[in-house]
Structure 1
Amino acid sequence: MADDSASAAPPHQGVPSEPPTAGAERPPLDEDTMARAVEHGVGPHPQPWPDDPRLDPELLAGGDRRNVVDRYRYWRLEAIVADLDATRLPLRIAIQNWEHDFNIGSIVRTANAFNVTGVHVVGRRRWNRRGAMVTDRYLQVHHHPDVADLAGFLAAHGSVPVGVDNLPGAVPLETAELPEHACLVFGSEGPGLTDEMVEVCDRLVAITQYGSTRSINAGAAAAIAMYHWALRWAPR
């Protein structure tokens, strides 16, 4: 009889053959790492304060812990929005919200990072805002009760709806020429774009994949598509 132990494959080199013991003591974090983990933003602004109407006296006095880039530290919310409005990119994002999709918050946050003109939620009005990390305060989030309402809005504002889904007839995103005034449209996680939404889209694009999964997370897909659009149209 063959010796099973002799034919067993050896463990991968450099990888422990057994998981670490539960409760094993980990090396302590150094002070700098711990400080970075607990500190967010900036503290109170040193006196004298700048004479700038865009600045918020409460933030100057107490510090600014918001998730904003450094140039907007201590700025009033209204001042930040006004500054962003002056440089909005002509891109819109639409998401179908038939299943109270948890990805919407993540998509809104990414849309803020790309400073899009607006985000459009189609279907249910309520959506999980936790993933947005309050970035929905810095851009316009529109609600549309149905696909027809979205289509009418986009037509009135000269925005071309482009569906992003791996459906038959979709063009690979990396070879697609997206219009400058585009609205990238995403379906709910799982079902994807509805047939009604596909009908109103000017074209369909799909993100090329190389693994076994049929689709990727809607929030990740939105980030990829926005970045692809920005490579062509965003100023540098």
Structure 2
Amino acid sequence: MDEEIAEWRTYAGEGVLLDGFHALKHALRFGARVPVAVARDREAALALARDLAPDLTGTLEGLLREVPDRTLGTLVPRPHPTGVAALALPAPGRTERALRDREAPLVVLDNPRNLGNVGAVVRLAAGCGAAGVLTTGTVDPWHPSCVRASAGLHFATAVAHREVPELPEGPLYAFDPDGEDLRGLTLPPDAMLAFGSERHGLTDAMRERADRLVALPMRPQVSSFNLATSAAMALYHWMAGARTQ
């Protein structure tokens, strides 16, 4: 098992941790380079692939190496229940191209605090066909807990950290209870949709950068929606409008 540990450590500095079968599945489907992947039970992982990802069975047969549970625990602080882990290498320049040439909205998370929420929004953005997810503040959007929560769908969209002055060009619609009702607006395809944290809302810098403030419809006396729910409502509104144009 020393060979697997040595290879893992070779790529650990630049690699993104794929924690679990589904993260590995999505990374491979969306073109990530995966130099090393391990499983505590290789046959069980391949059976899962035959059931849930038959398109990847051949790839995984050549990639997965079985390691003892104690070795997996050495490589991954909190192994996924599927007993699968891998390292993936992001494609250089991919994010910049996606942000520059986008034909779908970007989701901007303004100083988010919860890693799981960030990953959930990335998963949502990938499924809805958004151009990507940008975060401001101190959270690393590629933190292993974010990638775990996204089920590896970071590789299906653009994900990056940018401070407010570094945001790309395009109209910025910032979501705030005092804004215009979303239902009366048409979101342009190059829009940026900014959401503050559930507790603190938008930062002053994001509010100043915004072209428009937008409000989600919400029952009186309900304080807020979950961050991913808010992003889902906005992206669904965009998707529904795009179908009618």
Regarding TM over 0.5, the answer is: yes
Q: Which amino acid in 1 is paired with 2:128? A: F
Q: Distance in 2 between matches of 1:44 and 1:181?
A: 34
Q: Distance in 2 between matches of 1:161 and 1:137?
A: 24
Do 1:45 and 1:60's aligned partners in 2 also have CA atoms closer than 8 Å? no
Q: Distance in 1 between matches of 2:191 and 2:110?
A: 16
Structure 1 counterpart of 2:152: 134
Structure 1 counterpart of 2:132: 118
Higher relative contact order (CA 8 A, sep 6+): 2
Q: How does 1:211-226 map to 2 (within 5 A)?
A: 211-226=220-235
Do 2:112 and 2:118's aligned partners in 1 also have CA atoms closer than 8 Å? no
Q: TM-score, normalised by structure 2?
A: 0.56
Structure 2 residue runs of 5 or longer lacking an equivalent are 1-46, 64-89
Q: Distance in 2 between matches of 1:42 and 1:136?
A: 23
Percent identity at matched positions?
29
Q: How does 1:28-39 map to 2 (within 5 A)?
A: none
Mark the structure with the bigger radius of gyration: 1
Do 2:174 and 2:210's aligned partners in 1 also have CA atoms closer than 8 Å? yes
Q: TM-score, normalised by structure 1?
A: 0.58
C-alpha displacement of 1:191: 0.6
Q: Distance in 1 between matches of 2:171 and 2:158?
A: 18
C-alpha displacement of 1:136: 0.7
- By percentage of residues, which structure has more helix? 2
From 168, 174, 193, the equivalent of 2:183 is 174
From 157, 173, 191, the equivalent of 1:162 is 173
From 89, 100, 109, the equivalent of 2:123 is 109
How many residues end up aligned between the 2 structures?
163
C-alpha displacement of 1:198: 0.8
Q: Distance in 1 between matches of 2:60 and 2:125?
A: 25
How well do the aligned residues superpose, as a CA RMSD in angstroms?
A: 3.5
Structure 1 pair 102–59 and aligned structure 2 pair: CA distance change class (3 A): closer
C-alpha displacement of 1:183: 0.9
Structure 1 pair 125–216 and aligned structure 2 pair: CA distance change class (3 A): closer
